[in-house]
Amino acid sequence: MMAIQSDVIIVGGGLSGLALADHLQREGISYQLFEAHSSLGGRIKVHRALSSCDKAAYDLGPSWLWPGQVKIRALVDRFNLEFFEQFSEGLQCYEDESGAVHRGAGYASMQGSYRLRGGMITLVDHLYAGLDSSRIHLNAPIASIRKSKRIEVMSPNGLVLAQGERLVLAIPPRVAESLEFTPKLNESTLREMLAVPTWMAGQAKFCAIYEKPFWRAKGLSGDAMSRVGPLAEIHDATDPVSNNGALFGFVGVPPDQRKDESVLVQQSLTQLARVFGPEAMSPLHVIVKDWAADPNVAVQLDRRAMDHHPTYGMPVAMSDAWGGQLLFSSSEMSPNFGGYLEGALEAAESTARLILA
């Protein structure tokens, strides 16, 4: 099999990789994009539930966009997508260390944030629809990278898949560090790659779908914070095109303590019943997405809980790898919106500028 020739090779089919491909295609620069999973999106993932409306979507990755995020708003406008404000009407709840529930304490409101009709995956779907599908390769993990006259990317069995002038790693730096590089990257570069925390990689999301959003009739917003868990932060995830209701929560239990999904589900439903009422024990459907269990997203270092939002941006030691032939373009590389979808788009735009220059 002959290796594919291209100006640019992109590893990673998340939002940043796809947005970069979009920039390059519009400028007439050839590219090939390799994604390890069977679907695109990276940390963007939705669950489409069987419900009264088959278009109901529930985000299991990033859920929100905010005013002031101009790049994602431009993409939403370009594709004529619909966005709506996160539901926040009613009392918010707080569960203290003893398990006592306090209502109206003013915790956890996401008022002023917005969600996309159809889920965040609609951004991915529309970007992909505009790309040359022959340049997008799914189920195509990259295990090693070699730089000689050109840069070569190889599959786990050593097959050279593509050769290009430049390589863009649109994956988390910690995941990229696990690849085999020939020649080996500078130790300072490898240290910096490991030092960049992968945003939300150690997280898990729990979502419960109900016949209706019963908490709203009780004057509750669906927002809650808890000191006992297992869900540390809870929000209304009701889809606007469905008659069903939904609650989702960020799991506060560390990855090594949540391996039994059935136990996590039962404990989460019991908690939702404490906070919102006994109706919470009878969902139509539940979904658990543990991002820490995905080796293409999280490494062992990411299993540690974050206690703050890291300071992101391009580390100096990663800014000139292989004389500028090796570039990094994940959300964590964005100095202004690192970790967010806006950051993924910002990183893609910055990388495109470097390539075009």
What confidence tens digit (pLDDT) does each residue in 144-181 have? 999 988 999 999 999 999 999 999 999 999 999 999 99
Looking at the 3D structure of the chain, how many domains does it have?
A: 1
User: Per the domain annotation, does 331 fall within a domain?
Assistant: yes
User: Per the domain annotation, does 319 fall within a domain?
Assistant: yes
User: Per the domain annotation, does 145 fall within a domain?
Assistant: yes
Whole-angstrom distance, CA of residue 290 vs CA of residue 339 = 17
Q: Is the pLDDT of residue 216 over 90?
A: yes
User: Per the domain annotation, does 245 fall within a domain?
Assistant: no
**DSSP sequence for 45-72:** -EEE--SSSTT-EEESS---B-TT-HHH
Identify the domain containing residue 162 by its residue range. Answer: 1-44+120-198+307-357
CB burial of residue 353 (10 Å; 0-12, 13-18, 19+): exposed
CATH number at residue 3: 3.50.50.60
User: Per the domain annotation, does 299 fall within a domain?
Assistant: no
Q: Mind listing the pLDDT tens digit for each residue in 37-80? A: 999 999 999 998 655 445 689 999 999 999 999 999 999 999 99
User: Per the domain annotation, does 324 fall within a domain?
Assistant: yes
The answer to whether residues 314 and 335 touch, using CB atoms and an 8 Å cutoff, is yes
User: Per the domain annotation, does 220 fall within a domain?
Assistant: no
Q: What is the arithmetic mean of pLDDT over 176-189?
A: 96
User: Per the domain annotation, does 271 fall within a domain?
Assistant: no
pTM across the whole model? 0.94
The answer to whether residues 55 and 118 touch, using CB atoms and an 8 Å cutoff, is yes
User: What is the predicted pLDDT for the residue at 144?
Assistant: 97
How far apart, in Å, are the Cα atoms of 178 and each of 144, 146, 254, 304? 9, 14, 23, 18
Tell me the sheet residues that pair with 245.
210
Q: 62-92 burial, b for 16+ CB within 10 Å, e for fewer?
A: bbbbbeebebbbebbeeeebeeeebbbebbb
